Structure 1
Amino acid sequence: MPKRLFYSLGFALGICLVMFQAALMPSGLAAGLAVLGLGGLLLGRNSVFAALLLGWVWANIAGAIIIESRPNSVYLNKPVEITGRVLGMPGRDALSTRFDFLVQSWAVNEHFEKTSRKIRLRWYRNAPTIEAGDQWRLWVKLRKPRGYRNRHGFDYEQHLFQKGITSTGYVLGNPPAAHQRLTTRVKVDRSRSRFSEFLTAHEPPLSEKGVLAALAVGDRMGISRQRWEILRRSGLGHLVAISGLHVGLAATFGFMVVGRLWRLAGTLTGKIPARLAGVWGALLCAFAYSALAGFPVSTVRAFIMISLGAVLLLVMRRPRPEDLLAAAMLVVGITQPLSVFSPGFWLSFGAVWLIVRFVVNPHFTADYWNEQARRETKAWFYKLLFYARTLIRLQIVLLIGLAPLLLIWFGELSLVSPVVNFFAVPVFELIVVPMVLLGLIFYFSGFSQVTTPFLSVSDWVISKVLFLSEWFSELPGAVLSLDPMQGTIAATCFALIVLGRRRVKRSIILLLLALFALASPGGGSRPAPGHVRLVLLDVGQGLAAVVYTANHVLLFDTGPRYGDFSLGEAVVLPELRGQGISFIDVVVVSHNSNDHAGGFGAIQRAFPIGRLNHSDPERSPSGDCELQDPWVWDDVRFQFLKSRPDGGQNINNRSCVLRISGPYGSLLLTGDIERHAEQTLVRRYGDDLKVDILQVPHHGSKTSSGLSFLGATQPLVALFSRGSTNRFGHPAPEIKRRYERLGIRMLDTAERGQLNLETTAQGWSIDTFADTRIRFWHH
């Protein structure tokens, strides 16, 4: 591995160090480290370490710029008037239109004050047609970026931070019509939007219009969750993102077409060689295709490598691919430092390095096979054999080489991906992508009717590829799933085996794996017999709790669902998979309110379930929680309490109530019960209600947590599960004061994120997301 690539890798690793900081480094420390890093580079001593220091400092500077640009609290959670313009392609769903907005000024004391902040807005009711570049004067309500803070799953706040989004909010009222400012970037974004709309309105309808939009203009919002699941399990996700492969094909297309046309022109070749014209054609096509994709990291990397390679070719130098890769990594790290945090950065650069290092073998190049072909009559056979051999080698190398990163980050590996990619890659490379490129050229040339045949052929081919991929993805053992800890161990073992056979700097690669392992949430061990662990997940305004014993798992409620977005899928499934769970012994849906039952469908599709308990009279009566006998798991007793008032029809008061007790502690899960149900419990169970841990009924509503109920339960700790800015005002101030007066410790998912409680011989061990995983972008 050349030194230049080590320096770029060190710089990128330094950028990643900021991911583990709860606070950004002071300016004095940053200046000192910068001087130390520059000195190391200039003196040529410990250059890789010096590059790492410079990357760390650079990431802290980039982070500070975004954090400092967040709005002052005076502008938050109240109507504020702003002016600015729409950035990028708006996204539309059944409920709202979502768009990024560059705030250029906002009202301060009846005067507009200039600013420059990027925010993300939603327009819910009667949203007009919004296009990139529109200038608007809007009344909005803003809030701090806030996601669901759990140890597993998607960190939305980190995602917004990486995108430079400083706040989120929604549009109020009906502002006047927008006026437009058509810059080059705006024209490109509008072209992307219109082509995506053209696909949606295409006649006859295109069955895979979401995949076509992703391939053509980088718009992946039209791909359904079911399609993403097929792509994930079959390992084809990279084909529907405009990646280096697609940009390389566009560049090749430009080089061949422009070079051939230039030769046909005849007289022009005397002034400018056809080779030079072809290179410019390749750069133009690569740039245009990257721009249509919105310049994601993979296309930026590919375009930089193509540009540098073209320059070196023009000056008659043969560039080393690894030098081009090092230069691209450095440029991306300097210009887009926050993108280095993403898995896509490492998977993109890692895949290219693996191809360069292990696939492009000088002993088995096309020249070798062409020489064999000249000696034989079946030239086409040897060319086909060369292509097939290279493709097989490519798939095996990528599967093995990227396995450590995939296992650490995602906890799973598609074992059928080499087979699926073996037939899918050639089809996309030789048919789909060229057809899409031709369709784009004709569409933007004003011949949209000519585009139809190319899109129809691509659509048909894609549908057949996905049909075969779905069959492979449903095979037993198609996906290897590991919890993050198992993935880290497997990745480290793999690295040690490979590094023992290759002459590379082991320390850098092992440091890389160590950083990725630290970045991945650890998979936890199970409690000992007699002990119990409660995980109260942050699902916003809702409830989802996972109870672990030594050998069993119980899920109490599944969080809400909003349209196609399910907290069961986004939060609960990552927690269970992160703990290596493959079977849920019992699922309890306390009652039918969306904030408690909305995520059940996602859970049911993902895991086999031993037993379902509920309070819904329309479901099977045998699953009614109040008819379920108590049971014991691993010396821990589970009992549903009979809490329903006689003749009560209130859905909240029908909630299942579960008491869990063991030798070292007890807890009570209450769902959304209110005063009548609480009084029923007190009357029926009296002092037997006493527990250590209480899930606060109904998110802290003023209709719950009566004094008699709290007097009977006498909890040491009360757990609130609620949304940080919920419209109900939960928890009610008087309810919080009541718990305070009784000396009960309160923990709130809106303030602390995920809550983890486990019994020990000395009492309850408690830790929260805020204690262990908080980062500077969460503040």
Structure 2
Amino acid sequence: MRAGMFALALGLLSLGWLPVLPSVGWLVLLAALGVVCLGVRRYVVGLFLLGLCWACVSAQGALDERLGAQLDGRTLWLEGLVVGLPTQDVGSVRFELAQASSRRAQLPARIRLSWYGGPPVQSGERWRLAVNLKQPQGLLNPHGPDLQAGLLARRIGALGSVKAGERLAPASAAWRDGLRQRLLGVTAFGREGALAALVLGDGAALSREDWQVLQATGTVHLMVISGQHVGLLAGLVYALVAGLARVGGWPRRLPWLPWACGLAFAAALGYGLLAGFQVPVQRACIMLAVVLLWRLRFRHLGFGLPLLIALNGVLLVEPLASLQPGFWLSFTAVGVLIVVFSGRLGRWAPWRAWTRAQGLIAIGLLPVLLAWGLPISLSAPLANLVAVPWISVMVVPLALLGTLLLPVPWLGENLLWITGGLLELLFVFLGWVAAWQPAWIPIALPTWSGLLVCLGAALVLLPRGLPMRVLGIPLLLFAGFTPRDEVPQGQVDIWQLDVGQGQAFVLRTRDHAMLYDAGPALANIDLGERIVVPTLQRLGVRQLDLMLISHSDADHAGGALAVQRDMPVARVMGGTHDLPDALQARPCEGDEQWQWNGVRFSVWRWQGAGDSNQGSCVLRVEAGGETLLLTGDIDARAEAAWLRGPMAGPVDWLQAPHHGSRTSSSQAFVEVTAPRAVLISRGRYNNFGHPHPQVLARYAAQGIAVYDSAHLGAIHLRLGSGESAQGLRQQRRFWREPT
């Protein structure tokens, strides 16, 4: 039985590694072969094939639901029902629309919308909206999250920004949203958002600082409803019924054991419904159902079988769940606990079991965190040692009891006030731990090193006394001491990061690293902090020898302060004088040149510039007979000045001036530079029309290849090697459109 269930799970999980989905003909053939294998009792092969076929069919259905290319970028009037829990920010609201319909086109079943300057929106309302629709896609950078896969896993068929709208019907059956408003309206030491996260699984009300503290301490799983919370509640209900039965407080006409199991499962389901029934809750409920059934029948199933049943149950309901890191973290954590405790002889003292569990979970999750490029909390064992019992034993029961008693005047709100105080004390402790040991983003590991880390974690998790267990520790050290990819002498490793409507280039020689522009920062979104710094760390850059900001516009300089705050920067150079004083940027001098590892760098700036764009600091990089020109946002007048200077001449690679604006890339500039390829950094749906069709036509007339971050994601180039550039979206995955 276990072998067959393992094969079924393996087939379902294989989906994530497919570059393309099989055709209908192949799926029919594989499914028929699977049925034949079951008929001749080759259950392992048959269940694997059937699991793979079901996962592919489900994924193809999700792909077919996505917005068609003919509607991408169009504005349509549509109607739909607001579902989930809308997120209200300062000046904007984000929500999901289901049952979307339009008279002019067939629409995806589920659309995620943003409405800047819009009115409050509540779950359960029906709206008529004018929406600029977009295909579901996100920024894609090296070793970072693939937002497009995440959107597909949640079956979001389109994104959109609302231009106008009218409410057609008020909210109905929106009890979760109403309860959230009640929770956010209580007084709880400023921790009302944490209460909503614990009770409803809605982390939107947590502040950015709170999320940073939770991430740094490895306690994110405690602030949203997890399987641990569900299991705890079920255990409390079961223990309550069993305790009443033992002391004679349970009615004798009702058999206590079936009632204890039934009420425990009902409590778990109720809590799951509060949370929106996400993957950790699904896993917990399925495992709990198996364990309670075993308890009723007094049959020993072991610990591994409930986990396998839960794994297959979740994947059969939603095969795309495996495209999200939370799925792997959830099941890995439970699997680690099963391995740690089920293979031990004798008993551990409670304190010893608890401390070891936290340390071994951290080791078990290490390969998963590395594989997904997620931050690793070195303080997680210590933080969870205190936070898990604090949340599980004190905070969650009080939060649920206070929520249940909210209709009772004074009582419910006071219980939540006490809960908020407990949460405030916890966050004070976690803040101290985070300041002492921030999260660590390790360098992206090559496959061979990642496999060695996995082997090391598996060895460490084995019981004491088993052969070769001691080898696990040195193998784990590959996570922190694997050398980064070395750049050959005389070459430059270059990444044009995908930062939307902005720009950021990472340039690495053998011993040096620099950043040309730092990405945008607008409102409460700083891509210097969210994308540039983590990418630098994953690429193995721990210090910047130079951060060169072409000019002061927010789409180029906005992330500079975050980069300087989170990473050592030896010096900063700026193309304009109106950069923030905190950067201490030295002006870009037109005659400055230097060499790093056989690579020549030189800068130029038009001294007669009349505005920030014209005053962009231009960087020329020469390596191995190849040349790259980074131009910032210079316009045609600045280009003409550049053509009169000593730097003028042909280049191999050109960063399109001003994102391909019509005011740049003049005919004379394109003819003189004569690049074989041009790099464009821009947002796919930007409001400026970049790149302009006339500019693209000018490049095409010269036979110049165009690499556009809006379609390719981050773009990688090894200057001096003679190789072509490569966009991350050119790496085939079944959820990405062919480029």
Shared topology, TM-score over 0.5? yes
Which residue pairs with 2:610 in the alignment?
649
Which residue pairs with 2:698 in the alignment?
738
CA gap of 1:126–1:353, structure 2 versus 1, over 3 A, is closer
- Is the 2:625–2:720 contact (alpha carbons within 8 Å) kept by the matching residues of 1? yes
> In the alignment, is residue 299 of structure 1 matched against residue 281 of structure 2?
yes
Instruction: Say which SS state the counterpart of residue 414 (structure 1) adopts.
Output: coil
What is the CA deviation profile of residues 632-671 of structure 1, one whole-angstrom value per residue up to 9, with x for unaligned ones?
1111111111224x2x331111111111112331111011
What is the CA deviation profile of residues 513-558 of structure 1, one whole-angstrom value per residue up to 9, with x for unaligned ones?
9xxx9xxxx9962321111122112222111111111111111112
Which residue pairs with 1:377 in the alignment?
none
Given candidates 56, 59, 82, the residue that maps to 1:60 is: 56
Query: 2: distance between equivalents of 1:309 and 1:476?
Result: 38
Query: 1: distance between equivalents of 2:184 and 2:461?
Result: 49
Structure 1 unaligned spans of 5+:
183-189, 366-384, 505-512
Which residue pairs with 2:472 in the alignment?
none
CA gap of 1:116–1:671, structure 2 versus 1, over 3 A, is closer
What is the CA deviation profile of residues 320-358 of structure 1, one whole-angstrom value per residue up to 9, with x for unaligned ones?
222211111111010011112222222212221222221
Which residue pairs with 1:241 in the alignment?
224
Instruction: Say which SS state the counterpart of residue 173 (structure 1) adopts.
Output: strand
Given candidates 266, 269, 283, the residue that maps to 2:265 is: 283
- Is the 2:20–2:732 contact (alpha carbons within 8 Å) kept by the matching residues of 1? no
Given candidates 198, 207, 212, the residue that maps to 1:229 is: 212
**How far does residue 724 in structure 1 lie from its aligned partner after superposition?**
1.6
Query: 2: distance between equivalents of 1:206 and 1:249?
Result: 25
Q: Report the AA paired with residue 381 of structure 2.
A: P
Greater shift after overlay, 569-578 or 321-330? 569-578
- Is the 2:340–2:462 contact (alpha carbons within 8 Å) kept by the matching residues of 1? no
Which residue pairs with 1:607 in the alignment?
567
**How far does residue 153 in structure 1 lie from its aligned partner after superposition?**
1.8
CA gap of 1:480–1:651, structure 2 versus 1, over 3 A, is closer
Which residue pairs with 1:220 in the alignment?
203
Which residue pairs with 1:272 in the alignment?
254
- Is the 1:106–1:115 contact (alpha carbons within 8 Å) kept by the matching residues of 2? yes
Greater shift after overlay, 566-575 or 144-153? 566-575
> In the alignment, is residue 417 of structure 1 matched against residue 380 of structure 2?
yes
**How far does residue 607 in structure 1 lie from its aligned partner after superposition?**
1.1
- Is the 1:70–1:167 contact (alpha carbons within 8 Å) kept by the matching residues of 2? yes
- Is the 1:626–1:640 contact (alpha carbons within 8 Å) kept by the matching residues of 2? yes
Query: 2: distance between equivalents of 1:70 and 1:448?
Result: 48
Number of aligned pairs?
Answer: 722
Q: Report the AA paired with residue 652 of structure 1.
A: N
Structure 2 unaligned spans of 5+:
467-474
What is the CA deviation profile of residues 659-703 of structure 1, one whole-angstrom value per residue up to 9, with x for unaligned ones?
1112331111011011121111112226x4432111010011111
Given candidates 180, 188, 205, the residue that maps to 1:196 is: 180
Query: 2: distance between equivalents of 1:131 and 1:262?
Result: 44
Which residue pairs with 2:152 in the alignment?
161
- Is the 1:675–1:706 contact (alpha carbons within 8 Å) kept by the matching residues of 2? yes
Which residue pairs with 2:91 in the alignment?
95
Given candidates 180, 186, 190, the residue that maps to 1:207 is: 190
Q: Report the AA paired with residue 392 of structure 2.
A: E
Query: 1: distance between equivalents of 2:234 and 2:194?
Result: 21
Query: 1: distance between equivalents of 2:554 and 2:144?
Result: 21
CA gap of 1:542–1:293, structure 2 versus 1, over 3 A, is same
CA gap of 1:745–1:115, structure 2 versus 1, over 3 A, is closer
- Is the 1:90–1:132 contact (alpha carbons within 8 Å) kept by the matching residues of 2? yes
* TM-score, normalization by structure 1: 0.86
> In the alignment, is residue 771 of structure 1 matched against residue 733 of structure 2?
no
Query: 2: distance between equivalents of 1:406 and 1:566?
Result: 23
Given candidates 87, 108, 120, the residue that maps to 2:112 is: 120
Which residue pairs with 1:145 in the alignment?
136
> In the alignment, is residue 14 of structure 1 matched against residue 11 of structure 2?
yes
Query: 2: distance between equivalents of 1:743 and 1:471?
Result: 58
Given candidates 646, 650, 660, the residue that maps to 2:621 is: 660
Instruction: Say which SS state the counterpart of residue 395 (structure 1) adopts.
Output: helix
**Which protein has the bigger helix share?**
1
Which residue pairs with 2:488 in the alignment?
528
Q: Report the AA paired with residue 144 of structure 1.
A: Q
**How far does residue 172 in structure 1 lie from its aligned partner after superposition?**
3.0
Instruction: Say which SS state the counterpart of residue 609 (structure 1) adopts.
Output: coil
What is the CA deviation profile of residues 398-457 of structure 1, one whole-angstrom value per residue up to 9, with x for unaligned ones?
1222222222223653232222222222222221122112112212xx126312332233
Instruction: Say which SS state the counterpart of residue 676 (structure 1) adopts.
Output: helix
What is the CA deviation profile of residues 599-658 of structure 1, one whole-angstrom value per residue up to 9, with x for unaligned ones?
2233223211111111232456761122783211111111111224x2x33111111111
**How far does residue 475 in structure 1 lie from its aligned partner after superposition?**
3.2
> In the alignment, is residue 81 of structure 1 matched against residue 81 of structure 2?
no
Instruction: Say which SS state the counterpart of residue 376 (structure 2) adopts.
Output: strand
- Is the 1:531–1:664 contact (alpha carbons within 8 Å) kept by the matching residues of 2? no
CA gap of 1:499–1:229, structure 2 versus 1, over 3 A, is closer
5 Å-filtered alignment, 1:502-513, equals none
CA gap of 1:547–1:297, structure 2 versus 1, over 3 A, is same
Q: Report the AA paired with residue 473 of structure 1.
A: A
5 Å-filtered alignment, 1:554-593, equals 554-593=514-553
Greater shift after overlay, 134-143 or 113-122? 113-122
Q: Report the AA paired with residue 311 of structure 2.
A: M
What is the CA deviation profile of residues 166-222 of structure 1, one whole-angstrom value per residue up to 9, with x for unaligned ones?
11112232324424443xxxxxxx33323332333323x533333222111101112
Instruction: Say which SS state the counterpart of residue 685 (structure 1) adopts.
Output: coil
Query: 1: distance between equivalents of 2:441 and 2:154?
Result: 31
Instruction: Say which SS state the counterpart of residue 645 (structure 2) adopts.
Output: helix
> In the alignment, is residue 69 of structure 1 matched against residue 53 of structure 2?
no
- The alignment-based identity, stated in percent, is 32
Which residue pairs with 1:29 in the alignment?
26
* TM-score, normalization by structure 2: 0.91
Query: 1: distance between equivalents of 2:185 and 2:200?
Result: 16
What is the CA deviation profile of residues 96-145 of structure 1, one whole-angstrom value per residue up to 9, with x for unaligned ones?
2111111353203xxxx887611111222332x32222222333221211
**How far does residue 228 in structure 1 lie from its aligned partner after superposition?**
1.9
Instruction: Say which SS state the counterpart of residue 221 (structure 2) adopts.
Output: helix
Query: 1: distance between equivalents of 2:158 and 2:439?
Result: 41
Query: 2: distance between equivalents of 1:114 and 1:712?
Result: 48
Query: 2: distance between equivalents of 1:48 and 1:606?
Result: 50
Q: Report the AA paired with residue 769 of structure 1.
A: L
Greater shift after overlay, 617-626 or 398-407? 617-626
What is the CA deviation profile of residues 435-492 of structure 1, one whole-angstrom value per residue up to 9, with x for unaligned ones?
112112212xx12631233223322222222322333333368747342328615424
RMSD across aligned C-alpha pairs, in angstroms?
Answer: 3.0
Query: 1: distance between equivalents of 2:89 and 2:424?
Result: 24
Which residue pairs with 1:630 in the alignment?
593
> In the alignment, is residue 673 of structure 1 matched against residue 634 of structure 2?
yes
**How far does residue 282 in structure 1 lie from its aligned partner after superposition?**
0.9
What is the CA deviation profile of residues 360-392 of structure 1, one whole-angstrom value per residue up to 9, with x for unaligned ones?
567445xxxxxxxxxxxxxxxxxxx93212201
Greater shift after overlay, 192-201 or 337-346? 192-201
**How far does residue 499 in structure 1 lie from its aligned partner after superposition?**
9.1
Which residue pairs with 2:37 in the alignment?
40
Q: Report the AA paired with residue 61 of structure 1.
A: V
Query: 2: distance between equivalents of 1:561 and 1:208?
Result: 27
Query: 2: distance between equivalents of 1:123 and 1:159?
Result: 21
Query: 2: distance between equivalents of 1:151 and 1:389?
Result: 40
Greater shift after overlay, 136-145 or 156-165? 136-145
Query: 2: distance between equivalents of 1:237 and 1:117?
Result: 30
CA gap of 1:135–1:176, structure 2 versus 1, over 3 A, is closer
- Is the 2:339–2:461 contact (alpha carbons within 8 Å) kept by the matching residues of 1? no
CA gap of 1:650–1:138, structure 2 versus 1, over 3 A, is same
- Is the 1:536–1:754 contact (alpha carbons within 8 Å) kept by the matching residues of 2? yes
Instruction: Say which SS state the counterpart of residue 326 (structure 1) adopts.
Output: helix
